[in-house]
Amino acid sequence: MSEKFHTELERLKQDTVEMARFARDMLCDSLQALAVQDIDGAKEILSRKKHIRETTIELEERTYQLIALYQPMAKDMRVIACTLKIITSAERIGRYGKDIANMVGFVKDQPEFMQPPPITHMARLVTGMIDDVIRAYETENIRPIENLSKRDDAVDTLWHSVFREMLTFMMENCRTITRGTYDIMVARYLERSGDHACRMAENVHYMVTGERIEIR
């Protein structure tokens, strides 16, 4: 395979890493805006939607062009296939950030729970998973994602815990319905982001080793 191909492929990988981190930051920043009810911050996050969509389209087009021009095989083809998966999942994570930012105006001044749900802890786990997948993809070292399954199990447990707690609070006090509903949605988006991290990790593992795994 030509030197030009590998130069373009490496540049594509680095741009994909930047896009994935941009999406991760959208998720983190939206959670922070929600926590402090920062309307202006939420609006700024919403303005990033156009950038992440345009970047997704650009990176996908560059990926297809590499396939058409060079017809890569073996490891090179696995890198390209993995890159497409990373792009798709990263855009989805960024859109979850956009969706959470949309909630800020609706929960502003809503009654707070005396015992807040463990969303902050859940978010820390999920963003850590995303960071490690990006690192594994960038370095082609699978060690950061070796224990992802256990971390995903912890995220799933927290999701079910938030769901049960919020339903209980809403049944006991109807004034908490609005805030409780949005907290359930946030927890669900975090759980789905964790799932996307697992799917990305499966593809990174295949890219590096040539072996397919399933992270449950």
Q: What is the pLDDT of residues 89-144, one digit of tens each?
A: 999 999 999 999 999 998 887 777 777 889 999 999 999 999 999 999 999 999 99
Confirm if 126 and 194 have CB atoms less than 8 A apart.
Answer: yes
Q: How far is CA 2 from CA 66, 72, 141, 167, in A?
A: 12, 10, 24, 59
Please tell me the distance from the alpha carbon of residue 54 to that of residue 130, in angstroms, as a whole number. 21
Instruction: Answer whether 0.85 is exceeded by the pTM.
Output: yes
- Map out the domains of the chain as residue ranges: 3-209
With a cut of 70, which residues of the chain have pLDDT below it? 1
**C-alpha closest to that of 72 among 24, 5, 131:** 5
- Burial (CB count <10 Å: 0-12, 13-18, 19+), residue 26: buried
pLDDT of residue 66: 95
pLDDT of the residue at 1: 57
The architecture that CATH gives domain 3-209 is Up-down Bundle (1.20)
Q: What is the pLDDT of residue 18?
A: 98
